[in-house]
A and B are shown apart, each in its own frame.
Chain A
């Protein structure tokens, strides 16, 4: 394995989003905090989801995971589409990096951005409300696994999309609805039975529910089930991504 090549591609991907930190790090943290302030202010007195847990506290893990999901996806997908549209993807394609090294560098960079933004949202949110931590390992595990899933999905979207609006479509019609309808703002037990059942087909629900378990030790479904669903999703998406990269689909025409 070309480990130095892999680490340089990872470094380049990290440097890429770090150089525009206002847009890639600060902006999503501010957006998440705006959701937090608006929803917490509007619903704090009216909703209690878990006993002994305020709605404000309930909201934070969901917002943190939503930030992780959206930013991990945005990182790999936007990097790829930009490189394809501007043509500078050619520099990576001309190099002796393997498709596996390419995949690992892009996914790892997405994980870093997702986790950094998530940690930023979390750090600022705890200034407003105290939050218990049931298991730091579970939190970290769900954060890393979920960001890897979305990093991989971002590569697929970035490979598939030929124009920025196609990628925006993927983001607005797939990632955004799935992340909003995953229990960020509510427990699925508050939904009618039909929508509860539908929620179980949304892998983002398991990411948020398992992550929330890491804070409160309480969740809508067994955290092991959530862990299993995310792990299977990662394996599936990684397999598809590696297949696309190996075949050269839309990259090596």
Chain B
């Protein structure tokens, strides 16, 4: 594999706020890469630096080896970016917008079949000649994706593309993006819907306060960060007077008869937890186990960083 995007010691500050603190990251060709982090972590700053919309104070970013500042023409030709905000040009129709965007990349009428393909694939055919102002939010989002793809980039960066999008459209968009990925496109995704990242991404980076706090394959991240942990949710017939001392370290949440434990599979056998509960007078009504998901990792890592 070779690198689609290389981020090398990138720093950026806004006034006294250090948005990125010497970030290093490599995204390989053909990856479906997730970039996660809480609000204000520096994700959008990083995306904007990759896209050339923001200049880094120090360090450099290259797209397929082309520096995004010095060799911006080649870098931008390889990159398609779907911005987070629902921006559009109110003067033009969908087809005009796509033709104009392709034109900026030096493409003319010979590119029209590809534009038709995009219009069709994103279900925009009956809106192709409609002014952008007349489109719904979901339709505008589709046009943004089409605009990012007019020049057939090798890397598609999606900055929270499903924020505020209804469930059906979200599903359609992900099917389309998965198809692009199968066709060989490198996808970089930032999202607040962690289940999206968990379902779609091969590798995930978590950024917090401008620093990379985790970077690994999704499975490895799940294993490495939380060990082989799982959640045990127990429902009792009646609330316990007191949770046994031996279980207090594992207890994550207690709501009346419902107790939630975080277990280390190797160290804390489920049976010993249940035995301790019974010994304390608990009568089991129901029990459930759940594997740790990305949300747990995310919360734990960002919390750990703060403390």
Q: Does A48 contact B (CB under 8 A)?
A: no
Cβ-defined contact, A96 with B54, below 8 A:
no
A87 close to B85 (CB less than 8 A): yes
Report the separation of the CA atoms of residues A83 and B89 in the bound assembly, to the nearest whole angstrom: 8
Contact yes or no, A5 B103, CB < 8 A: yes
Q: How many residues of A contact B (CB 8 A)?
A: 28
CB neighbours of A248 from chain B (8 A) = 55
Instruction: Mark A93-112 against chain B: 1 for CB-CB distance below 8 A, else 0.
Output: 11111100000000000000
What residue in chain A is nearest B100 (Cβ atoms)? A12
Q: Identify the closest chain A residue to B85 (Cβ).
A: A87
A151 to chain B, nearest CB (A): 19
Cβ contacts under 8 Å, B101 to chain A: 91, 95
**Given the contacts A95-B76, A96-B73, A19 and B108 also touching, CB distance less than 8 Å:** no
A129 lies within 8 A of chain B by Cβ: no
Contacts A87-B85, A87-B87, A88-B87; A98 near B73 (Cβ below 8 A): yes
- Bound together, the chains give a CA A98 to CA B107 distance in angstroms of 16
Contact of B104 among A86, A96, A253 (CB under 8 A): A96
Q: State whether the Cβ of B88 lies closer than 8 Å to any Cβ in chain A.
A: yes
B: interface residue count bin:
20 to 34
Provide the bound-state CA to CA distance between A93 and B72, in Å.
11
State which of A8, A83, A94 has its C-beta within 8 Å of the C-beta of B103: A8
Whether A5 and B147, one on each chain, are in contact in the complex, defined by CB atoms closer than 8 angstroms, is: no
A135 to B104, CA, bound (A): 39
In Å, the complex CA distance between A248 and B52 comes to 10
A97 to B103, CA, bound (A): 10
CB distance from A5 to the nearest CB of B (A): 5
Interface membership of B249, Cβ < 8 A: no
Which partner residue on chain A sits nearest B96 by CB separation? A15
Q: Within 8 Å of chain A (Cβ to Cβ): is B114?
A: no
A-B contact number at CB 8 A: 79
Return chain A residues, CB-CB under 8 Å to B51. 94
Chain B residues with CB under 8 Å of A98's CB are: 73
B53 within 8 A of partner (CB): yes
Cα A7 to Cα B180 in complex, Å, equals 30
CB distance from A227 to the nearest CB of B (A): 35
A98-B73, A252-B55 known; A90-B104 Cβ under 8 A: no
User: Which residues of chain B are near A8, meaning CB under 8 Å?
Assistant: 100, 103-104
**A86 — which chain B residues lie within 8 A by C-beta?**
87-90
Q: Is the CB of B52 within 8 A of A252?
A: yes
Q: Given A86-B87, A91-B147, A96-B76 in contact, is the A5-B104 Cβ separation under 8 Å?
A: yes
Complex Cα spacing A70 to B183, Å: 51
Q: Are A5 and B52 in contact (CB under 8 A)?
A: no
Is the C-beta of B105 less than 8 angstroms from some C-beta in chain A? yes
Q: Are B104 and A97 in contact (CB under 8 A)?
A: yes
B96 contacts which chain A residues (CB < 8 A)? 15
CB contacts under 8 Å to B, within A185-240, are none
Q: Which chain A positions have C-beta within 8 A of B77?
A: 96
Q: How far is the CA of A94 from the CA of B107 in the complex (A)?
A: 15
With an 8 A cutoff between CB atoms, is A16 at the interface?
yes
Q: How far is the CA of A95 from the CA of B147 in the complex (A)?
A: 11
User: Using Cβ atoms and an 8 Å threshold, which residues of chain A touch B100?
Assistant: 8, 11-12, 91
Contacts of B106 in A (CB 8 A): 2, 4-5, 96
- Chain B hits for A16, CB < 8 A: 91
Are B108 and A4 in contact (CB-based, < 8 A)?
yes
Residue B35 lies at the interface, judged by CB distance under 8 Å to chain A: no
Are A4 and B87 touching (Cβ within 8 A)?
Answer: no
A8, A15, A94, most chain B CB atoms within 10 A: A94
20 more A-B residue pairs beyond the given contacts A15-B96, A95-B105, A252-B52, with a C-beta to C-beta distance below 8 A: A2-B104, A2-B106, A8-B104, A11-B100, A15-B91, A16-B91, A83-B89, A86-B87, A87-B87, A90-B53, A91-B104, A91-B147, A92-B104, A93-B52, A93-B53, A96-B77, A96-B105, A248-B55, A252-B54, A253-B53
25 A-B pairs whose Cβ atoms sit less than 8 Å apart in the complex: A2-B73, A2-B104, A4-B103, A4-B107, A8-B100, A8-B104, A9-B103, A11-B103, A15-B91, A15-B96, A20-B91, A86-B88, A87-B83, A87-B87, A91-B101, A92-B104, A93-B52, A94-B51, A94-B53, A95-B76, A95-B101, A96-B106, A98-B73, A252-B52, A253-B54
List B residues at the A interface (Cβ < 8 Å).
Answer: 51-55, 72-74, 76-77, 79, 81, 83, 85, 87-92, 96, 100-101, 103-108, 147
Question: B-contacting residues of A (Cβ < 8 Å)?
Answer: 2, 4-5, 7-9, 11-12, 15-16, 19-20, 83, 86-88, 90-98, 248, 252-253
Q: Sorted from nearest, which 10 A-B pairs have the closest CB atoms?
A: A8-B103, A95-B104, A87-B87, A96-B73, A96-B76, A88-B89, A4-B106, A5-B104, A88-B87, A12-B100
